[in-house]
């Protein structure tokens, strides 16, 4: 998925978001403003490849989001975006649920 400059600017302006990686199906970086983006892209791709096994065994719908909880309220989220995936950091002071809702809203706006 190619995002135009406006859409990327909207993503970056979400309060609570502290950097992102947009990753293609094979782990290729499509855009980013995060440190260690190559390594994060690999993580995103591994998650995207591995989560269907969990979905299958749970007889579940596709995963909405993956959250990596770290110390000091630091979190990294991954969400599917069509065939691609987006990974993003949560600012320490932000609320995860709110951030997820805002990113979901931004993702919905891509189809408009």
Chain positions contacting other proteins, by CB under 8 A: 26-29, 36, 38-43, 45-47, 50-51, 53-58, 60-71, 74, 76
The residue among 3 and 42 lying less far from other proteins, judged by its C-beta, is 42
Q: Closest separation between CB of residue 77 and other proteins, Å?
A: 9
CA atoms of 94 and 75, how far apart (whole Å) = 10
What tokens were used for 25?
């199906």
Rank residues 13 and 26 by Cβ distance to other proteins and give the closer one.
Answer: 26
d(CA 76, CA 103): 13
The rounded distance, in Å, linking the Cα atoms of 81 and 25 is 10
Report which of 54, 43, 58 is spatially closest to residue 89, judged by C-alpha positions: 43
The minimum distance between CB 85 and other proteins, in angstroms, equals 13
Nearest distance from C-beta of residue 109 to other proteins, angstroms:
21
Which is nearer to other proteins, 7 or 63 (by Cβ)? 63
């Amino acid at each position: 998925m190619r995002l135009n400059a406006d859409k990327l600017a909207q993503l970056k302006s979400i309060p609570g978001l502290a950097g992102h990686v947009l990753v293609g199906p094979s782990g290729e970086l499509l855009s980013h403003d995060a440190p260690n983006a190559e390594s994060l892209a690999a993580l995103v791709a591994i998650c995207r490849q591995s989560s269907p096994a969990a979905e299958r065994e749970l007889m579940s719908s596709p995963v909405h989001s993956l959250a990596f909880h770290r110390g000091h309220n630091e979190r990294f989220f991954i969400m599917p975006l069509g065939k691609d995936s987006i990974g993003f950091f949560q600012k320490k002071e932000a609320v995860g649920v709110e951030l997820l809702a805002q990113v979901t809203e931004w993702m919905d706006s891509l189809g408009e």
